Structure 1
Amino acid sequence: MKNDQMLPGRRTLLRLTAGLGTAGVVRVIAADPAGTPFRPPALDRAGAAGPSPALRGAPPSYRLTPMTGDAPPRFRPAAPPVRTRPFEHLPEVGHAMVLSFDDGPDPHYTPRVLAVLREHDVRAMFFLCGEMADDHRDLVRAIADDGHTVGNHSWAHPLVTKLSRAGVRDELGRTSEVIEGLTGTPPVWYRAPYGAWNRDSFEIGAELGMEPMAWSVDTLDWTEPGADTIVRRVRQGAAPGAVVLSHDAGGDRSQSVAALRRYLPELLDHGYRITVPQRR
């Protein structure tokens, strides 16, 4: 999104998405190559190991069949019934976590995020707005060239639940076309702006060959709460299968970059494997 401050209350719905969790498919996160039952604990405020609240009393994980199956990635209608919400729980994922960044690419902050990820040799997910991708094409290529997953975050970050089916299709379709044109591959993941999905969004995303992806740890970095607060939220939410939501565009994201520089090496030191989803 080009100007995050132009929409008052732009993020008011984000808090609602915490209950949505992460969306995905069978083998959403690559299986732990070691096949060990190790579950890294959450990190406390000082970065020390502590019990993970995310693991207490959690209901059994479950799996759903992908809406789009193994079909060519575009324009295959979803077979009913279509999902009505993203996943709340992930399958057993060992000690993997996912970092994700929304609203970019941005010429000031995306290169800094990429540099930190490159320094630690990890891959992340970038959910791009089509208008930003179209304006900063070299950055889209740089994200893809570094091996990161490029996802669809709509064209101009609207509240898609207020759009007609044609409007949803235009927002998602145009963005997928730009991403495919720049990377050679259409996106297979999408994230609804504000985390606001509805049936039209699920169906049209499936027709375009995409699976929905939400999150389980919201850093709320768009509020610019300070790098210390962002780091604390990631530490508290760290758990096997966690998907962290941050932003590399839409405002001043210097705090987000500073926090990433701190919490990423901590997660790695505590045994977390930073990875990206795999769709079979």
Structure 2
Amino acid sequence: MQKDQLFTRRRMLLAGGAALGAAGTAGAVLAAGGADTARTAAAPAAGPRARRALAPNAFRLQPLTGDGPPRAAPRKLKVRQEPILRISGRGRRMVLTFDDGPHPDYTPDILDTLAEYDVRAMFFVCGECVVDNKELLARMADEGHVVGNHTWTHPLLTSLDRDEIRDEMESTSDVIEDAYGERPQWFRAPYGAWNRAAFQLGADMGMEPMAWTVDTTDWMEPGTSAIVDRVEEGAAPGVVVLSHDAGGDRSQTVRAIREWLPYLLDSGYHLTVPRRRV
């Protein structure tokens, strides 16, 4: 995508144009517990700590100033006891999710592949990575992807006190709103390590907790073919797939998605995003 296309949303925001939706309404509603959710494992999922993004590129956008309207209070949600792991609904629906970014070396390639196949996905971003790559969140908004909160520094939340967890979450929601155009409605705990404070604070900030069903294990860099096999073998209605677009060398992830994405589509899967709350 050309540079001027990446700036489309920011120009609209600065010009005071009509607000843009972060995601379309064609996505499936995520399961609200019961049969469509499963308990998370007692031990947190393995995975690398997100790295700080590389040096800012020449086309970095700057945060919006305080000239706009005040931020609306988030819609408070019911506090869950466990995260959402699957999506409900009829048909062969799946959700693709990417954690730890955005990263200037890998996220654009993933966005290009998603655009090629007209597929939308979810990106759970780290605030420290957003700071120098705001144009990538603007592009995600323009292309209908959903952006979620993955904390600022990718810490193990179970090792933090409540105020520290709040700071990680609030600061990330703030920078997402500046870059993406609205506050996130979804949250994912780093390493899949949830605690009561994370569920409570997320609900207070208007965010639903989302985990995953299939881990591609791309964070282990097992090889492109291994990642492809994990996705293709784990594909099933309602599945949420976990991949990463930062936090390490993600070149295998970039190559793998070019293989497994057309396979899923040819197999009759509809790759969707959650319906936006209004």
Deviant stretches of 4+, over 2 Å: 59-63, 72-79, 87-93
Give the match's secondary structure for 1:181.
Answer: helix
Q: Quickly say closer, same or farther: Cα 1:247–1:207, change in 2 above 3 A.
A: same
- Contact kept in structure 2, 1:73 and 1:210, CA below 8 Å: no
> 1:174, 1:158 → 2: CA distance?
14
Q: Quickly say closer, same or farther: Cα 1:121–1:28, change in 2 above 3 A.
A: closer
> 2:158, 2:137 → 1: CA distance?
27
Unaligned segments of structure 1, at least 5 residues: 1-26, 32-58, 64-71
Unaligned segments of structure 2, at least 5 residues: 1-24, 39-70
Q: What is the CA-CA distance between 1:136 and the residue it aligns to?
A: 1.0
> 2:28, 2:275 → 1: CA distance?
6
> 2:233, 2:157 → 1: CA distance?
31
- Specify the alignment match of 1:85 in structure 2: 82
Answer yes or no: is 1:110 the counterpart of 2:85.
no
> 1:206, 1:276 → 2: CA distance?
20
- Specify the alignment match of 1:51 in structure 2: none
Q: Quickly say closer, same or farther: Cα 1:213–1:77, change in 2 above 3 A.
A: same
- Specify the alignment match of 2:13 in structure 1: none
- Specify the alignment match of 2:244 in structure 1: 247
Q: What is the CA-CA distance between 1:246 and the residue it aligns to?
A: 0.3
Answer yes or no: is 1:181 the counterpart of 2:178.
yes
Q: What is the CA-CA distance between 1:154 and the residue it aligns to?
A: 0.2
Give the match's secondary structure for 1:201.
Answer: helix
Q: Quickly say closer, same or farther: Cα 1:121–1:75, change in 2 above 3 A.
A: closer
Per-residue CA deviations over 1:224-278 (Å, capped at 9, x if unaligned) read: 0001000000011100010000000011100001000000001000100011011
Give % identity: 57
Q: What is the CA-CA distance between 1:87 and the residue it aligns to?
A: 3.2
Q: Partner letter of residue 229 of structure 1?
A: A
Q: What is the CA-CA distance between 1:74 and the residue it aligns to?
A: 3.8
Q: Quickly say closer, same or farther: Cα 1:170–1:62, change in 2 above 3 A.
A: closer
- Contact kept in structure 1, 2:86 and 2:212, CA below 8 Å: no
| Number of aligned residue pairs | 217
Match of 1:202 among 172, 195, 199: 199
Q: Partner letter of residue 91 of structure 2?
A: G
Q: What is the CA-CA distance between 1:89 and the residue it aligns to?
A: 5.0
> 1:106, 1:73 → 2: CA distance?
29
Per-residue CA deviations over 1:126-184 (Å, capped at 9, x if unaligned) read: 00000000121111111211110011000000001111111011000000000011122
CA RMSD of superposed structures (Å): 2.2
Per-residue CA deviations over 1:97-147 (Å, capped at 9, x if unaligned) read: 111000000000000000000000000000000000012111111121111
Give the match's secondary structure for 1:245.
Answer: strand
> 2:240, 2:26 → 1: CA distance?
11
- Specify the alignment match of 2:167 in structure 1: 170
Answer yes or no: is 1:61 the counterpart of 2:17.
no
- Specify the alignment match of 2:136 in structure 1: 139
- Specify the alignment match of 2:12 in structure 1: none
